Structure 1
Amino acid sequence: MSIKSSFQSVMAATGLHNRSWFPALAVGVSLLKSLFIGAYHSTDFEVHRNWLAVTYSLPVSRWYHENTSEWTLDYPPLFAWFEFGLSQVAQHFDGNMLLVENLNYSSPSTVLFQRLSVIITDLVFMYATRECCRCVQDQKGSQDILNQPPFILAVLLLWNFGLLIVDHIHFQYNGFLFGFLLLSVAKHLQSQHLQGALLFSILLNLKHIYLYVAPAYGVYLLRSYCFTQDHTDGSIRWSSFSLVRLLALGGIVASVCALSFGPFIIMGQLPQVLSRLFPFKRGLCHAYWAPNVWALYNVLDKGLATLGESPPPSSVTWSLRRSFPEPAVASIWRRPRGARGFLRCLLLCALGSFLFGWHVHEKAILIAILPLSFLAVESREDAGIFLVLTTTGHYSLFPLLFTPPEFLIKVVLMLLFTIYSVTALRKLHRPLEVMYLLGLVSVAIACEVVFPLSPWQQKLPFLPLLVTSVYCSVGVCYSFLHLYITLLRQHKKPKQP
């Protein structure tokens, strides 16, 4: 027996759960992350350093009142406890980072600790990716591991360009959080619904931005888990409703929330915590406009204001924001299509909230990109939209890294990820999509190379941000509308007997 045939026999015997290539991918990306330890870091680095200091140095009763720094604690209590746990290790690196009054403190030991904390907590994301890969089937008859959906999915998730630059250069803990989201999705795909509900409840109490996708979870679990029988006519019959299952789900959610918010409710601080979590005094848009509907609206507003006209009323757009998720959740209620229908609903809720949400950060596009990765390896149509959305969404993150030393890093990383995505999925065939994505090259050259050398840099310093945001908004809106129309078509299809 040849070496090649022996290898194939071993792979066939071990199956999906023991693939030897997964540890290699995980170790490789971890080594790459370690190269960014000395790179530029944003104000989010100071945000999390301050939270380490607050949770370590102050009693719990003062966590959500402390305001020495402008970067006050504004994540749910479970994340505060996560920071507290990190601070117990941080004291062994540099105790000065844990002093509340040490604003903008970034000693070499502090930088090393915080960078390593992101890399190590990414183990949650790696485990979640492995579980997601278990849910994707190999292509029958193909012996090429590199072209198999599980391998492609692992690369798209582990080596995601957005996560690499947002977490390991810009600085955040998105990988750790997305680990809970993907692991929750994987558990639902594996029909382990209580575990999936528990993981999502924990996630909501770590970062409340994931309320974006809570409607998908609520409707899916109520329809597909609490109703124990699936009737051929699709009708809802309350005789098949399981109160025990509903109470089990409710007990899980209530227990996690009680663990998270309970101490602050007892101390009478719930209103203070909620005021930190939902600071509606902030403007509708973030400083750098996320590539969504509001970016297009703002340009239209300014253009019409210049002409002396009134812009369209924002109430119309607000109504659209409320109505867009409805067909998605209605689809999985009326016609349950299993966990993949739930995943599509989750994706549309995330993307709809990104497009029409309040004070949306550009980084939130990853909430849509990562779940779409799963669908892209299984569906030709979803793969095409994935390539548009991921390229557009990732390029919209370019302004996060504006220092010269990181210019080459972000360009090379994005090119490598985009080229791999296109070649692995091989689904980009629509001429309009190709032309739009090629236009990103022109935008990049104009904003990143030409503009800094032009006299406009002093007169219109924010022009590149505006151009980037508006151009990327077109691609994100196109992707959402395409996914939305596809869902509506499926929603109208007659049921199979």
Structure 2
Amino acid sequence: MGAADLQYLLWLVGIATCVKVLLVPAYHSTDFEVHRHWLAITHSLPLKEWYSDESSQWTLDYPPFFAFFERFLAIFASWFDPQIVDLVNGQNYAVRSVVLFQRGTVMAADLVLYWGLWEIGSGLSRMRRRILYLVVIFSPGLLIVDHIHFQYNGFLFGILFLSLAAMRDGNDLLGGIYFAALVCFKHLFAIAGPIYFVYILRHYCKGPQKIARFCIMASAVISIVALAFGPFLYHGQMPQLMKRLFPFGRGLCHAYWAPNVWALYSTGDKSATVVMRKLFGVYIDRPKAGLTGGLVGDFTPYAVFPQITPIVSAILVIGSMMPCLVQAWRKPVPNAFIRWVVYTFTCGFMFGWHVHEKASLHMVIPFSVLAVERLEDARAFLFLSVVSTYSLFPLLFESKEYPIKVTLLLLYALVIWLNFSQLFGTSTKDSGDLKAKAASNTELNVQETVKPLIGPVEGAYLGGIMVIEIYGQCFHPLFFGGSFPFVPLMLTSVYCALGMTYYWLDQLHMVLSS
């Protein structure tokens, strides 16, 4: 990696920043006010009151490092516009200065993402490295969630890349420290904790010094956690903090169109109530649209199917990730670690409790590292990227954002197609690439270079997305007007959940066969 690669990365960053600037006036969700309020909480209140404040419904529910991050941003916010951090008078404050400041902080935080990309790309050939930069920086899901809907996921994925790069390079201690810090920023990344624990225990804590290494790793991780949670433990805030981080009362489904197995389960339960009423005359009372409103709140119990508890969800998550945990225990090799991490994130998304639809990015972004190395992974990545991005479309429900999200998805799919086609369709015919494969003792599969990026099954499924979208945009309003507004969301949820299930089964096969 040299000056040319850095110049290429900076060129992409410059273009992406221009795109993000153009998106500044776009719609922003309630998450915009959430983060503004967190600025006000951390600026206006003493630390001991951060996790007990209830001056707004947008209570602080991220781990301490993120709270400290908000406190850091609040310093500049108070200089930029003092009302941003006014706990009483700043509520729902969204004038131009606030929008510019908060959008700008997301762009600035993305510097960590670019750093992480630079580190994770260091182990790849130049062409693969540049394609990786391209597919991550211009990820439509990341642009939609962070720079339109509004969140700070980019810099968190940068920390994840730093951890994965360290683990791949054999620096398990540094990788563990990065991961511990990441979880202290956003606890949803903790779903990969089991694979980190098993892999580090078997790969790092081995040999004559295994006890010493275990103590070193444990001390480092405990120090990070103590640095994050220690001040709140001192002030007696841990019970309230844990309650905020793990709001089990919110229920199994965050929103009905989060595309995982619980979307299918919920649809099955609703269908079963209809069947029992129509065919058997059995009427089962349940709140109208209790599972289809797409709102965060207390969970409506299932009418026919067995109830799902947090314990059941946890058992399914751990049980589904057992194949990679067993592999990591038996043969902890660095070149398989990224795949195992991606798979555990997939299991968490598919079976987790109160999963956000935005959590599909936890699979997509790190999977890009694998996608630039093998054709089979490139094919799965293209499929996953389209399904994941389309599942995020309901986040942007205003008509003025519709052309933006469609354009982002179509252009991105085209860019992936062209770059991966070049990488796997023509680059392997180059003598230089053949020599590189021979030097690395990589098996050269000529047949692999002629496989299409989209197979017939995947192609038929992706074509179905167009049918779902045309129905939701054109035919449903034509036939029903404003009635049954949940139906397009339900169709999107179920159809994308089928695609996500197909992807999960494919990755399970990849893990078992690796």
Name the CA shift for 1:88/1:94 in 2 (closer, same or farther; >3 Å). same
Match of 1:287 in 2: 255
Match of 1:369 in 2: 364
Q: Secondary structure at the match of 1:173?
A: coil
Q: Give yes or no for the alignment of 1:386 onto 2:381.
A: yes
Distance 1:334 1:214 in 2: 18
1:63 corresponds, among 33, 43, 50, to 50
Distance 1:114 1:466 in 2: 32
The worse-fitting range, judged by mean Cα deviation, of 352-361 and 417-426 is 417-426
Partner amino acid for 1:363? Answer: K
Q: Give yes or no for the alignment of 1:419 onto 2:414.
A: yes
Partner amino acid for 1:25? Answer: L
Distance 1:467 1:487 in 2: 30
Superposed CA offset, 1:240-283 (max 9, x none): 45112111111111111111111111111111110111111101
Mapping 1:41-440, distance limit 5 Å: 41-101=28-88, 102-138=90-126, 148-228=127-207, 240=208, 242-308=210-276, 310-311=304-305, 314=308, 319-338=315-334, 340-426=335-421, 427-440=452-465
The worse-fitting range, judged by mean Cα deviation, of 414-423 and 80-89 is 414-423
State the Cα distance separating 1:18 from its structure 2 match.
Answer: 4.2
State the Cα distance separating 1:320 from its structure 2 match.
Answer: 3.5
Q: Is the 8 A contact 2:203 2:333 kept in 1?
A: no
Distance 2:511 2:255 in 1: 33
State the Cα distance separating 1:456 from its structure 2 match.
Answer: 1.7
Q: Secondary structure at the match of 1:100?
A: coil
State the Cα distance separating 1:424 from its structure 2 match.
Answer: 1.8
Partner amino acid for 1:454? Answer: L
Distance 1:105 1:345 in 2: 43
Give unpaired runs (5+ residues) of structure 1: 1-13, 139-147, 229-239, 491-497
Q: Is the 8 A contact 1:77 1:206 kept in 2?
A: yes
Q: Is the 8 A contact 2:114 2:158 kept in 1?
A: yes
2:489 corresponds, among 465, 468, 471, to 465
Superposed CA offset, 1:131-163 (max 9, x none): 11112124xxxxxxxxx2111111111111101
Superposed CA offset, 1:91-114 (max 9, x none): 111111111122211111111100
Distance 2:315 2:48 in 1: 39
State the Cα distance separating 1:337 from its structure 2 match.
Answer: 2.5
Percent identical among aligned pairs is 43
Q: Is the 8 A contact 2:252 2:308 kept in 1?
A: no
Match of 2:431 in 1: none
Distance 2:313 2:48 in 1: 40
The worse-fitting range, judged by mean Cα deviation, of 469-478 and 315-324 is 315-324
Q: Is the 8 A contact 2:256 2:263 kept in 1?
A: no
State the Cα distance separating 1:186 from its structure 2 match.
Answer: 1.1
Distance 1:261 1:332 in 2: 30
Distance 2:114 2:4 in 1: 14
The worse-fitting range, judged by mean Cα deviation, of 60-69 and 301-310 is 301-310
State the Cα distance separating 1:51 from its structure 2 match.
Answer: 0.2
Distance 1:425 1:132 in 2: 19
Distance 1:150 1:382 in 2: 15
Distance 1:343 1:421 in 2: 21
Give the length in aligned residue pairs: 455
Q: Secondary structure at the match of 1:416?
A: helix
Q: Is the 8 A contact 1:305 1:311 kept in 2?
A: no
State the Cα distance separating 1:306 from its structure 2 match.
Answer: 1.5
Q: Secondary structure at the match of 2:250?
A: coil
State the Cα distance separating 1:314 from its structure 2 match.
Answer: 4.3
State the Cα distance separating 1:429 from its structure 2 match.
Answer: 3.8
Distance 1:82 1:132 in 2: 24
Name the CA shift for 1:123/1:302 in 2 (closer, same or farther; >3 Å). same
Mapping 1:440-479, distance limit 5 Å: 440-451=465-476, 453-479=477-503
Distance 2:159 2:322 in 1: 25
Name the CA shift for 1:457/1:220 in 2 (closer, same or farther; >3 Å). farther
Match of 1:493 in 2: none
Q: Is the 8 A contact 1:53 1:97 kept in 2?
A: yes
Distance 1:447 1:26 in 2: 35
Distance 2:222 2:500 in 1: 36
Superposed CA offset, 1:289-324 (max 9, x none): 310000000111011111228436648776533311
The worse-fitting range, judged by mean Cα deviation, of 78-87 and 128-137 is 128-137
Q: Is the 8 A contact 1:447 1:464 kept in 2?
A: yes
Q: Is the 8 A contact 1:37 1:112 kept in 2?
A: yes
Q: Is the 8 A contact 1:401 1:407 kept in 2?
A: yes
Q: Give yes or no for the alignment of 1:25 onto 2:19.
A: no
State the Cα distance separating 1:448 from its structure 2 match.
Answer: 3.0
Distance 2:320 2:479 in 1: 43
Partner amino acid for 2:122? Answer: R
Partner amino acid for 1:153? Answer: L
Match of 2:511 in 1: 487
Partner amino acid for 1:299? Answer: T
State the Cα distance separating 1:185 from its structure 2 match.
Answer: 0.6
Superposed CA offset, 1:326-380 (max 9, x none): 1111111101232x31111111110001000111000000000111111111111
Q: Is the 8 A contact 1:428 1:434 kept in 2?
A: no
Q: Secondary structure at the match of 1:74?
A: coil
Distance 2:245 2:183 in 1: 12
Partner amino acid for 1:98? Answer: V
Distance 2:6 2:100 in 1: 32
Compute the TM-score of the two structures, normalised by the length of structure 2.
0.85
State the Cα distance separating 1:17 from its structure 2 match.
Answer: 7.9
Distance 2:461 2:468 in 1: 11
